[in-house]
Amino acid sequence: MGSRDRVEVFEEQRARLFGLAYRLLGSAAEAEDMVQDTYLRWSEAGPVEVPAAWLAKVLTNLCLSRLASARVRRESYVGPWLPEPVLTADGALGPLETAEQRESVSLGLLVLLERLSPRERAVFVLREAFGYGHAEIGEILGIEESHSRQIHRRARVHVGEPRKRFDSDREQHRRIVAGFLAATMNGDVATLERLLAADVAAWADGGGTTAARRPVRGREMVARYLRGLSGRPEAVGVSIEVAEVNGEPAVLVHDPSGDALLAIIAVEIENGQVVAVRTIVNPDKLAYATAQLM
């Protein structure tokens, strides 16, 4: 295979590799690093019989090494840790046409995957999001097929049964998010409380900034929390839009000039009500989405 052919083969796999690395790491910036490291190994490799399988194996094992150190960093993270959001309307994380595909990149699931060991996470993602068979997963991770099955069963228990959050049509989901946004910005507590589930929870990832460092739980407390956010002086004049983030409608908050992305608010909906609000204001975690908007 010539150098030009090798580059072309890799580029054909790049988007799939990025989507895999992102699901494994929960960070777009780190996923890009892993894809680049995989390319360096690919460019120096000898003949490869099945490039797609070879690349998936190298990338997955690079991510496993990164996950081990990432877990240590996240244990010392100030305040709640949330995944790095990605705008997905342009297919940045691959096709998201089915409920299962959207669930596989949702912030809610990525948070749950933090419960898993690196190997459990790898087996879960390869099986659930990419449809690899256990024999293939065993080859990628260097384990027996039966061991892959055991790990997968254990991972499913730790993650829990997936909730049916994507049954309603996407336009209805978008309308609910728009209504939630209007009620929040207008201080319409009555409407806000009708939209919030009784057990709703809100998290804010500021990386040690002024964001709340503990989750807020319950309809009344979350409504009060959201009303307080909209009433802050820095909220005056901001520009707001609804966009697709990690497969779901979310709120993008820009500064008054519209140039800087200040926050992304991901709204999780189940049975027509808001069950979770995840706000990312850490500038480092907004960098990838900011670049996507340019």
CATH at 256: 3.10.450.50
User: Among 129, 159, 189, where does a domain finish?
Assistant: 159
Query: Same structural domain for residues 154 and 174?
Result: no
> Among residues 108, 132, 159, which one ends one of the domains?
159
Q: Is residue 176 part of a domain?
A: yes
Residue 117 forms part of a structural domain: yes
Please tell me whether residues 114 and 212 are part of one structural domain: no
Output the pLDDT for position 282. Answer: 92
Q: What is the pLDDT of residues 227-248, one digit of tens each?
A: 877 767 666 778 888 899 999 8
For residue 198, being part of any structural domain is answered with: yes
Domain that holds residue 186: 170-293
* Nearest CA among 57, 28, 64 for reference residue 41: 57
Last residue in a domain, options 159, 189, 222: 159
Residue 93 sits in the same domain as residue 213: no
pLDDT at 70: 74
Q: Does residue 165 lie within any of the structural domains?
A: no
Q: Quick one: 149 and 254 in the same domain?
A: no
188 and 150: one domain?
A: no
Q: What is the DSSP string of the chain?
A: --HHHHHHHHHHHHHHHHHHHHHHHS-HHHHHHHHHHHHHHHHH----S-HHHHHHHHHHHHHHHHHHHHHHHHHT-SS---PPP-B-TT-TTS---SHHHHHHH-HHHHHHHTTS-HHHHHHHHHHHTT---HHHHHHHHT--HHHHHHHHHHHHHHH-PPP--S-S-HHHHHHHHHHHHHHHHHT-HHHHHHHEEEEEEEEEE-TTSSS-SS-EESHHHHHHHHHHHHTSGGGTT-EEEEEEETTEEEEEEE-TTS-SEEEEEEEEEETTEEEEEEEE--HHHHHHHHHHH-
Same structural domain, 180 and 228: yes
Same domain, 74 and 147: yes
Query: Do residues 17 and 146 share a domain?
Result: yes
Which CATH number belongs to the domain containing residue 137 in this structure? Answer: 1.20.140
Does 42 share its domain with 137?
Answer: yes
pLDDT (tens, 9 = 90+) of the chain, 294 residues, equals 556 688 999 999 999 999 999 999 999 999 999 999 999 999 988 888 899 999 999 999 999 999 987 776 777 777 788 999 999 998 899 888 888 888 889 999 999 999 899 999 999 999 999 999 999 999 999 999 999 999 999 999 998 865 555 555 778 888 898 898 888 888 888 889 899 999 999 999 987 666 667 889 999 999 988 887 776 766 677 888 889 999 988 999 998 877 889 999 999 998 889 999 999 999 999 999 999 998
Domain assignment present for residue 164? The answer is no
If asked whether residues 35 and 119 sit together in one domain, one would say yes
Per the structure, the count of domains in the chain is: 2
Residues 8 and 146 in one domain: yes
Residue 58: inside a domain: yes
Q: 74 lies in a domain?
A: yes
In a domain, 179, yes or no: yes
CA dihedral defined by 105, 109, 114, 116, rounded to 10 degrees? -100
Q: Are residues 287 and 141 in the same domain?
A: no
